[in-house]
Chain A
Amino acid sequence: AQSVTQLGSHVSVSEGALVLLRCNYSSSVPPYLFWYVQYPNQGLQLLLKYTSAATLVKGINGFEAEFKKSETSFHLTKPSAHMSDAAEYFCAVSDHSSYGKLTFGQGTILTVHP
């Protein structure tokens, strides 16, 4: 069975600071990994995904994530936070046998202070 653990339900950073949101996965087969963002009262929007090509994945809005098999991690980073990055972020996993079904982490709420 697949599972995802997001360390830290709340992360607070200052504008311009590094953003680091942590995600660890558990999967019995090679996983596909996703980061989604949810703004208040909106649906989820894909930031980036890992599908077994390059381990460093670049996404929208300056975000990137690195797949590290040895650490079973897929942490999301952004060098410089912007006020507009304040939202809830979800890490999710699927695999080739799941017909695309996503298993989500519990989410991390990012707060950006001026």
Chain B
Amino acid sequence: DSGVTQTPKHLITATGQRVTLRCSPRSGDLSVYWYQQSLDQGLQFLIQYYNGEERAKGNILERFSAQQFPDLHSELNLSSLELGDSALYFCASSFGLAGTDTQYFGPGTRLTVL
């Protein structure tokens, strides 16, 4: 158990819908990262927050957005869903921003868009 929790574990929805994925980081960690894992794209970095502020952005679609709240939990919002958004979405947390910091991964949310 990494100490990072993600809910829900599974999500099945229809095209055009909007969903929210939730992540609670390890106690004491200030950074939260979101990654998408799909068969065709592999593991890709989406976005990172540190202590409530966005710090780095990767291959995140404009239909996707995220935020980190004062209690440090984070939410990833996916809207106007398409079939291609079906994937495993991981949240990871680390103490700081350094490239050397270990990221601890949650169990993931499996999103299926029908």
- Stretch binding the partner chain, chosen from B13-21, B66-74, B76-84, B105-113: B105-113
Among the listed A36, A42, A100, which residue makes an inter-chain contact with B99, where contact means beta carbons less than 8 Å apart?
A100
Query: Residue on A with the closest CB to B102?
Result: A46
Chain B residues within an 8 Å CB radius of A51: 100
Query: Residue on A with the closest CB to B95?
Result: A100
Q: Are A101 and B48 in contact (CB under 8 A)?
A: yes
Report B28 CB to chain A, min CB distance, Å: 16
Asked if A77 is an interface residue, CB under 8 A from chain B, the answer is no
Q: Is the interface of A mostly helix, strand, loop or mixed?
A: loop
Chain A residues within an 8 Å CB radius of B31: 99-100
Among the listed B45, B97, B99, B107, which residue makes an inter-chain contact with A32, where contact means beta carbons less than 8 Å apart?
B99
Report A41 CB to chain B, min CB distance, Å: 8
| 10 cross-chain pairs, A with B, having the tightest CB-CB distances, nearest first | A43-B105, A104-B43, A94-B99, A51-B100, A44-B105, A99-B56, A32-B99, A43-B107, A99-B97, A99-B55
